[in-house]
């Protein structure tokens, strides 16, 4: 008999990869090792993550010699692609055979024409660039004309930046809905993202009013199966957006990773069973995409301190999983996501210490484990590691 947990708390450290995948060269990501390369540049103080076995996965951290408190391993991405939608969908059971379309030369004229007709004004930009770069590059023209700044990246995204003092946030959201009909539903682009900012020329800052418009998953995910069976699913941060709201019973918005951990603790106090799934996006948005090695390192240490505070709050029948959705190595010239393994750290009173979960062939193993644990319909892909967690205790979820 495998363990069965009343509640699973999953925390995704957005972009905290741990080394290039075998097919990284197909994506131009040779040498990417987000956490390892940071550790080679900066001495990292991560006692809580080490306690869970992270040092077994990242040699650059140095092996502490202790027995990990729970189970540890890594997951390979089976889907084509390396973005957040792809990674999270795969964790929930969907393995994409083809990556979402990308636009390395910007969007075609016919797409931009349809978009500008839809919003009733011209747009500027239509470049491949980082968000901070485009608002500095096109910010003055935007302030003068009110034209939205459109840009993309190596990911399948149509992003729209606008100053909150020029374009009210609800209007920016409406423009994103127009774009979603054109490039999302019409072309299969993974996400349309609202990127509001504030401030003066030379001192622009993006705000927490970002909003993602993602495609709906093409088939039911483990979230759908859980909610259909009456299990609570609490989505923290951008989880709800990544699944277009599907399979979510409660959404808790966040403005920072620290606030994300506050919301995790809040949900753990309020929701005694089911799934709590959080995404901590600052690793990616504030540090990976900006090649900010020092900032990334400090955010890792801030999370580690919050993790140390969280661990004693786990109930006996809880399972805590810490993982990631892709890489974004700030030490490389690229500011894009990178094709990497992600950590898989699992801990709880019913998890045996020092269990190696090895290298999982797909992120879908996590979703299959969730499905197995809660006794819902199995997913089409993935292998459950529930029994591999090593305890013979069985705890049935309460009704």
Q: Does residue 37 contact residue 47 with C-beta atoms inside 8 Å?
A: no
- Does 251 appear as a known binding residue? no
- Does 63 appear as a known binding residue? no
- Using alpha carbons, select from 372, 369, 378 the residue that is nearest to residue 346: 369
- Does 326 appear as a known binding residue? yes
- Does 14 appear as a known binding residue? yes
Q: Does residue 73 contact residue 388 with C-beta atoms inside 8 Å?
A: no
Compute φ and ψ for 375, nearest 5 degrees. 70, 35
The H or E element spanning position 191 is strand 191-198
- Does 45 appear as a known binding residue? no
**In sequence order, what are the beta bridge partners of 12?**
279, 323
**Sign of torsion, CA 39 43 46 47?**
positive
- Does 289 appear as a known binding residue? yes
Query: Rounded to an integer, what distance in angstroms lies between the CA atom of residue 41 and that of residue 60?
Result: 10
Compute φ and ψ for 357, nearest 5 degrees. -90, 0
Longest Cα separation, the chain:
66
Q: Does residue 250 contact residue 234 with C-beta atoms inside 8 Å?
A: yes
Q: Annotated binding residues for Mn(2+), as ranges? A: 14, 284, 289, 325-326, 337
Q: Annotated binding residues, as ranges? A: 14, 284, 289, 325-326, 337
């Amino acid at each position: 008999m495998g363990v069965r947990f009343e509640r699973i708390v999953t925390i995704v450290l957005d972009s905290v990869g741990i080394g290039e995948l075998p097919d990284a060269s197909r994506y131009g990501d040779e040498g990417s090792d987000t956490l390892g390369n940071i550790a080679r540049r900066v001495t990292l103080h991560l006692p809580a993550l080490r306690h869970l076995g992270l040092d077994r996965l990242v040699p650059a951290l140095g092996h502490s010699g202790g027995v990990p408190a729970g189970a540890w391993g890594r997951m390979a991405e089976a889907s084509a692609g390396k973005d957040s939608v792809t990674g999270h969908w795969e964790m929930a059971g969907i393995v994409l055979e083809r990556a979402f379309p990308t636009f390395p030369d910007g969007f075609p004229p016919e797409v931009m024409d349809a978009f500008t007709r839809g919003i009733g004004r011209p747009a500027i930009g239509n470049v491949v660039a980082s968000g901070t770069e485009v608002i500095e590059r096109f910010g003055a023209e935007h302030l003068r004309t009110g034209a939205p700044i459109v840009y993309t990246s190596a990911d399948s995204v149509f992003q729209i930046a606008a100053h909150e003092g020029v374009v009210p946030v609800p209007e920016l959201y409406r423009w994103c809905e127009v774009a979603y009909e054109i490039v999302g539903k019409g072309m299969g682009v993974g996400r349309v993202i609202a990127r509001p900012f504030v401030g003066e020329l030379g001192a622009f800052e993006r705000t927490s009013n970002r909003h993602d418009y993602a495609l709906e998953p093409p088939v039911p995910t483990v979230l759908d199966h859980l909610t259909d069976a009456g299990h609570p699913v609490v989505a923290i941060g951008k989880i709800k957006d990544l699944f277009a709201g599907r399979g979510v019973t409660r959404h808790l918005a966040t403005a920072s990773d620290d606030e994300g951990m506050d919301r995790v603790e809040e949900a753990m106090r309020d929701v005694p069973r089911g799934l709590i799934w959080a995404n901590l996006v600052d690793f990616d948005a504030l540090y990976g995409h900006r090649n900010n090695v020092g900032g990334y390192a400090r955010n890792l240490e801030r999370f580690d301190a919050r993790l140390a505070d969280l661990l004693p709050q786990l109930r006996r029948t809880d399972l805590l999983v810490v993982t990631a959705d892709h890489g974004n190595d700030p030490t490389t010239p690229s500011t894009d996501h990178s094709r990497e393994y992600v950590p898989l750290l699992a801990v709880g009173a019913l998890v045996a210490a020092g269990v190696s979960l090895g290298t999982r062939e797909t992120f879908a193993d996590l979703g299959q484990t969730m499905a197995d644990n809660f006794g819902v319909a199995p997913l089409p892909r993935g292998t459950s590691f529930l029994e591999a967690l090593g305890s013979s205790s069985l705890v049935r979820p309460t009704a």
